[in-house]
């Protein structure tokens, strides 16, 4: 796959040819996807919540806009509106900063605003909050899971995050 700079140069050349002169080419939108495996599931805790960084080196150098988030479990999960887990994809600034919830889902019954039951290998959508979808330059994505009541275990699986680089 050619580098984005090579694509941009090719587009500039094409625009020059089409327009008969110089034409500026704006930054191309590049859709990306990162998939993070959780072979032991995502730990669901109460009290101090462990946070797991998402991305190769923990940072998104130019920033990004998260467009979709899904969890693909390797086993089923039974929804419960009293004892459930809340899964959150969050972002932090380059300095750490406070956690901003980018996408959130809970394992309550679907009629109670949750995801409902999960089936093995069937993607579960995690709703992205549009107002919080932009991750700043050098920002970090993290994932946490908090239990309510006695909670529910989130089975092993893969967290799939789709985003556009800024």
pLDDT tens per residue, range 86-135: 999 999 887 878 889 999 999 999 988 899 999 999 999 999 999 999 99
Instruction: Give φ, ψ of 89 to 5 degrees.
Output: -95, 120
55 confidence band (pLDDT: 50, 70, 90): low
pLDDT at position 12 over 70: no
Mean pLDDT across the chain: 82
pLDDT of 16 higher than 60 = no
What SS3 state is found at 14? helix
Residue ranges with strand state E in the chain: 31-38, 52-54, 64-73, 84-92, 100-106, 124-128, 134-135, 140-148, 157-165
**Euclidean distance between CA atoms 125 and 43, whole angstroms:** 19
C-beta separation of 146 from 78 below 8 A = no
Domains of the chain, CATH where assigned: 30-165 (2.60.120)
> In the prediction, which pLDDT does 77 show?
96
Among 2-16, 69-83, 145-159, top mean pLDDT goes to 69-83
To the question of pTM greater than 0.75 for the whole model, the response is yes
- Return the DSSP state at 12: H
Mean pLDDT: which of 57-61, 101-105, 151-155 is highest?
101-105
pLDDT reported for residue 126: 96
């Amino acid at each position: 796959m050619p580098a984005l700079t090579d694509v941009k140069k090719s587009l500039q050349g094409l625009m020059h040819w089409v327009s008969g002169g110089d034409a500026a080419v704006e930054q191309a939108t590049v859709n990306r996807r990162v998939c993070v495996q959780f072979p032991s599931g995502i730990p669901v805790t109460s009290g101090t919540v462990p946070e797991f960084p998402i991305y190769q080196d923990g940072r998104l150098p130019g920033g990004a806009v998260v467009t979709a988030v899904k969890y693909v479990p390797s086993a089923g999960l039974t929804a419960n509106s009293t004892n459930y887990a809340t899964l959150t994809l969050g972002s932090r600034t380059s300095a750490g900063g406070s956690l901003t919830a980018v996408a959130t889902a809970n394992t309550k019954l679907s009629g109670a605003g949750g995801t409902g039951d999960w089936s093995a290998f069937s993607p579960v959508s995690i709703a992205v909050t549009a107002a919080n979808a932009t991750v700043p330059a050098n920002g970090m994505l993290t994932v946490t899971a908090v239990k309510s009541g006695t909670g529910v275990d989130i089975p092993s699986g893969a967290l799939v995050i789709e985003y556009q680089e800024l």
